[in-house]
Amino acid sequence: MQRFLTFFLLASGSWAFEKGTAEEDFVRIWPENPVVEFGGSLVLNCSASCENIGLETAFTKVPIGEGPSWRAFNLSDVNHWAASPLCYADCGSEQKKSPKANIIIYKPPDHIKLDTVPKMEVGKPYNLTCWVSAVAPIQNLTVTLLKGAEQLLVKTFEHHTEPEAGPVAVSHRIIAQQSDHNKTVTCQTSLDLRPRGPLLKNISHSISLESFDFAGAPQLHADLSLEAGTKMKVTCDAPQVSPAEEAMFHLWFARRPVTFNTSVMGDEASAQAVVTSSSVGEHELICTVSLGPVTKNAKKTVNVFALPKPVLQIDNSEAVINQTVNITCGADGNASPGFKMQIRDAANILASSNQDQRFLQHAVITQEEDNGREFICQVTLIVDGHTEERRISQNLTVFYGPRTDDSNCPHTLTWKEGSLTSFTCSALGNPKPTVQCWKDGRPYNIGEPQLVQREHDGIYHCNATNQYGSDIRNVTVHVESSKADISGIIIGILVPAVIVICLGAVAFYINRRKCGIYHFWKHQRPPSQATGISEELACLNSNPSV
Ligand SMILES: *[C@@H]1O[C@H](CO)[C@@H](O)[C@H](O)[C@H]1NC(C)=O
Ligand SMILES: *[C@@H]1O[C@H](CO)[C@@H](O)[C@H](O)[C@H]1NC(C)=O
Ligand SMILES: *[C@@H]1O[C@H](CO)[C@@H](O)[C@H](O)[C@H]1NC(C)=O
Ligand SMILES: *[C@@H]1O[C@H](CO)[C@@H](O)[C@H](O)[C@H]1NC(C)=O
Ligand SMILES: *[C@@H]1O[C@H](CO)[C@@H](O)[C@H](O)[C@H]1NC(C)=O
Ligand SMILES: *[C@@H]1O[C@H](CO)[C@@H](O)[C@H](O)[C@H]1NC(C)=O
Ligand SMILES: *[C@@H]1O[C@H](CO)[C@@H](O)[C@H](O)[C@H]1NC(C)=O
Ligand SMILES: *[C@@H]1O[C@H](CO)[C@@H](O)[C@H](O)[C@H]1NC(C)=O
Ligand SMILES: *[C@@H]1O[C@H](CO)[C@@H](O)[C@H](O)[C@H]1NC(C)=O
């Protein structure tokens, strides 16, 4: 108990002594928590109740002022991250030290750099990475990634403990969207040292996102066959593309680039071109569409064919009748294998060639009907299942002498007197024959309407002529008179009737006279009824024979 008490008194006495010296002697450093930029300078003020005030530091120090109880130093080139200066002074026999100053050395970033983002495909993931180099203190740093005005990521580093400047990288994954196209991405840093220090903000250069959507496959519209030397329109469409105006086209035909025009309709881009080739064979037509990172192709094989030019020759396109006329059909120029030739007229095939034969002949012995006949020389080629053809035609002229027949110049004509009629007689022939007619040695105007008279009755001599001959024809015209008809009736009916009446009258008279004699004779003799009747019948019976 005694010992415990003694210990307590001693302990409290020594505490009281120590407290008294502490109140007397002090060494302080000011400011205790300075903030200074890396490489910059700083004034530290040591104050003490003792003598020989000094500053212990690794930095270059220059005293810049002193008073009875203080001394100020300028520290320059503050570039050691872990340095912690302290003040000291000689207090009696011992040296006292101040607490260490807690210097915060800051450094704005040397560089802020955003990694370039490749051309993006809608729906795919991409990393946005921001590199911040040589920044300190990292635990005061905030890195923000912005897409336009939208904050994608805000990253802080509270748990970072090292004071040294170091690089920082932040990364954010995005899924590319159509609306991302042309949006800018920036990386902002903020070094917040408030309230003891500044707030430092920096921003990276912006990068522009490129986001492409190329869902559809390009389509090539072109015929599968093309005649060599001719032109063909070709279009290549890229549907469902975004942004459609950035679709890049390339067209090749027969391994050569083709010039083209492009157009955009909604979300479809298309290229239009006109292609041609002079080399026969199968050629590839290729359309390549590139949109951002995606490239797609469309191909077609075009059969370039050559159809030779038909050449028609008719030996004598103007021939006389019964002449042999040779018709030749030739093929001129470049030709695809497998072509055929034909000689034909409007209705029929007259001659056909074998494949790839360039000459064909057909002979015609000219007939009247061949005048004006059209002959065709035709070249055909089957390309991809359909027939390509080329033809040339020429008409044959056949000259021949006049020919009259019953249809154009009838042998007999019957006209009615008083009617209006014209005499017609024409003839076949090439050139068209002229027809002249004579009646009774006098030329007669044919084809003119005239009032039919009795004098028109008779025989007409007609002569159809052209330079290839003549044809004679006699035409008999009967004129029927309307008066002649009535007298005919009179003559035919009335006259015989009159004659019959007259003869009847005469016969009756003769008969009467005969019977009268009888009656007279009968009066002389006794009458007999029965014989009387029989006599009268006999009389009547004998009457027609008179
Ligand atoms: C240093 O501190 C003392 C008192 O603490 C003050 O009087 C003096 O002006 C200071 N010196 C400088 C240079 O700040
Ligand atoms: C950051 O900003 C500070 C001043 O605020 C400037 O001195 C420094 O050069 C900037 N750094 C970059 C990388 O822009
Ligand atoms: C994005 O970054 C992560 C990790 O940082 C990596 O695994 C991934 O492959 C990156 N993605 C792309 C598309 O670069
Ligand atoms: C994207 O930006 C470029 C250049 O600034 C401009 O020419 C283009 O029209 C823009 N495209 C879209 C889809 O906004
Ligand atoms: C492109 O358009 C111009 C003007 O419309 C036209 O003259 C030209 O022929 C076109 N070219 C092609 C390859 O279609
Ligand atoms: C044409 O020849 C046929 C038979 O050889 C002959 O009957 C006819 O009279 C000739 N025609 C002419 C106009 O020469
Ligand atoms: C028609 O062709 C045959 C055979 O090729 C020939 O003998 C004849 O002389 C030709 N006729 C004419 C009029 O050219
Ligand atoms: C040849 O005859 C046809 C009818 O057979 C006719 O249509 C065509 O016009 C004629 N051609 C010439 C050049 O006369
Ligand atoms: C028919 O006319 C031609 C030409 O005028 C003449 O040559 C020829 O003799 C004439 N024939 C008759 C039978 O009159």
What is the per-residue DSSP string for 135-190?
EB-GGGEEEEEEETTEEEEEEE-TT----S-EEEEEEEEEE--GGGTT-EEEEEEE
Whether 39 and 78 have beta carbons less than 8 Å apart is answered as yes
% of the chain surpassing 70 pLDDT: 84
Q: How far is the CA of 314 from the centre of ligand 9 (A)?
A: 34
- C-beta of 273 in contact with ligand 5 (< 6 A): yes
Give pLDDT tens digits for 138-196.
999 999 999 999 999 999 999 999 999 999 999 999 999 999 999 999 999 999 999 99
- C-beta of 395 in contact with ligand 8 (< 6 A): yes
Give the residue, out of 120, 127, 209, with the most ligand 3 atoms within 8 A of its beta carbon, to mutate for a pocket test: 127
Task: Identify the residue whose C-alpha is closest to ligand 6 atom 9.
Answer: 322
Maximum C-alpha span of the chain: 244
- The two three-digit tokens of residue 320, written as one number: 């006389």
Closest CA to 94 of 57, 62, 52: 52
Task: Identify the residue whose C-alpha is closest to ligand 9 atom 7.
Answer: 470
Average of pLDDT values for 57-84? 92
309-399: what fold? Answer: Immunoglobulin-like (2.60.40)
Going by CATH, does the domain composed of 215-305 fall within 2.60.40.10?
yes
Highest CATH level, class, for 404-480: mainly beta
Residue 525's pLDDT is what? 44
Atom of ligand 2 lying closest to residue 189 CA: 1
Q: Over 70: is that where the pLDDT of 367 sits?
A: yes
Residue 25's pLDDT is what? 85
Residue 129's pLDDT is what? 97
Residue 489's pLDDT is what? 54
Which ligand lies nearest to the CA atom of residue 244 in the structure?
A: 4
- C-beta of 313 in contact with ligand 9 (< 6 A): no
Average of pLDDT values for 322-335? 94
Q: Over 90: is that where the pLDDT of 508 sits?
A: no
Which ligand lies nearest to the CA atom of residue 251 in the structure?
A: 5
Q: How far is the CA of 326 from the centre of ligand 1 (A)?
A: 133
Task: Identify the residue whose C-alpha is closest to ligand 5 atom 7.
Answer: 261
DSSP character at residue 6: H
Selected from 1.10.3720.10, 3.30.710.10, 3.40.50.300, 2.60.40.10, the CATH number assigned to the domain covering 112-212 reads 2.60.40.10
Mean pLDDT over each residue of the chain, to the nearest integer: 87
Whether 64 and 53 have beta carbons less than 8 Å apart is answered as no
Which residue has tokens 């191909």? 299
Q: Over 80: is that where the pLDDT of 519 sits?
A: no
Atom of ligand 2 lying closest to residue 203 CA: 14
Task: Identify the residue whose C-alpha is closest to ligand 8 atom 7.
Answer: 374
Residue 15's pLDDT is what? 42
pTM over 0.85: no
Task: Identify the residue whose C-alpha is closest to ligand 4 atom 3.
Answer: 182
Task: Identify the residue whose C-alpha is closest to ligand 8 atom 4.
Answer: 374
Q: Over 70: is that where the pLDDT of 272 sits?
A: yes
- C-beta of 497 in contact with ligand 5 (< 6 A): no
Task: Tell me the CATH number for domain 2-106.
Answer: 2.60.40.10
